[in-house]
Amino acid sequence: MGYIKKIMFSCVLVFLSGLICAQDYVIFDEEVKGKWYKPDFFKLQFAGNIGLASIGLGYEWWNEKAQSVLLYGFVPDHKGEAEIHTFTIKNTFRLYKFNLYDKFNLCPTAGFSVSFEHGENSYMRVPDKYPDGYYSPNSFYACLNLGVKSKVDFKEERKFSGLGVFFEVNTLADYVYYNIKAQEDWDDDILSFALGMNVFF
């Protein structure tokens, strides 16, 4: 099993564990929290190697220290030289929580994701027109990220319980692997930035 497949398999396991952990609160407070499969938040993300814009639904688990999200991303052809659709499982972990005043907080984060990309320049099997061993299949890829997020909880009774914003620095796992393997100097071009928000139900 290649390292990309191992990362993908681990990512799926982490996401599924989030769903399982989500059942913990259902047993004690089902009327308040709802069914275990009900998402905890809606995510909107701009950039970050998973699309020009992406949307998805996510779950919080591990006492709100971890988030797992299913995302759909899109890049129009005039931005990516080809129309691109991505489907991503993204996992983010809170490293620490700094409480600011009564409602605000600031949290450094780290995470990883695995994406499946459908587009004209992606392929599960390398086309015959390319020399053997020159390119690798690129439909599946993994990303690593570091970031910071903040969340405001709404104390008053509203349709949504809270709102979070985040900023991340991303890189493809392939870039990290090949830079380490080739022992090359790190290039800023391997980094991608992402902005987004989470709307909590």
- pLDDT on residue 28: 40
On whether residue 18 sits in a domain, the answer given is: yes
The answer to whether 107 and 97 have CB atoms below 8 angstroms apart is yes
Residue 5 has pLDDT above 90, yes or no: no
On whether residue 90 sits in a domain, the answer given is: yes
On whether residue 116 sits in a domain, the answer given is: yes
- pLDDT on residue 44: 98
Residue 91 has pLDDT above 80, yes or no: yes
Instruction: Name the phi and psi angles at 56, rounded to 5.
Output: -175, 180
User: Tokens 């139900």 label which residue?
Assistant: 201
Coil, strand, or helix at residue 180?
Answer: helix
12: its two tokens:
């799926």
Average pLDDT value for residue range 158-179 = 89
Using one digit for the tens of pLDDT, what is the confidence trace for 27-71? 444 444 567 789 999 999 999 999 999 999 999 999 999 999 999
* CA 142 to mean position of chain CA atoms: 10
pTM over 0.85: no
- pLDDT on residue 35: 78
On whether residue 34 sits in a domain, the answer given is: no
Q: Look up the CATH number of the domain holding residue 103.
A: 2.40.160
Residue 147 has pLDDT above 70, yes or no: yes
Using one digit for the tens of pLDDT, what is the confidence trace for 107-130? 999 999 999 997 767 777 777 777
- pLDDT on residue 168: 98
- pLDDT on residue 95: 97
The boundaries of the domain holding residue 108 are 3-29+39-200
DSSP string, 93-152: EE---EEETTTEEEEEEEEEEEEEEEETT--SS--TTSPTTTS---SEEEEEEEEEEEEE
Most confident of 27-36, 85-94, 158-167: 85-94
Q: Which residues of 170-200 are buried (b: 16+ CB within 10 A; e: fewer)?
A: bbbbbbeeeeeeeeeeeeeeeebebebbbeb
- Count of structural domains within the chain: 1
- pLDDT on residue 23: 47
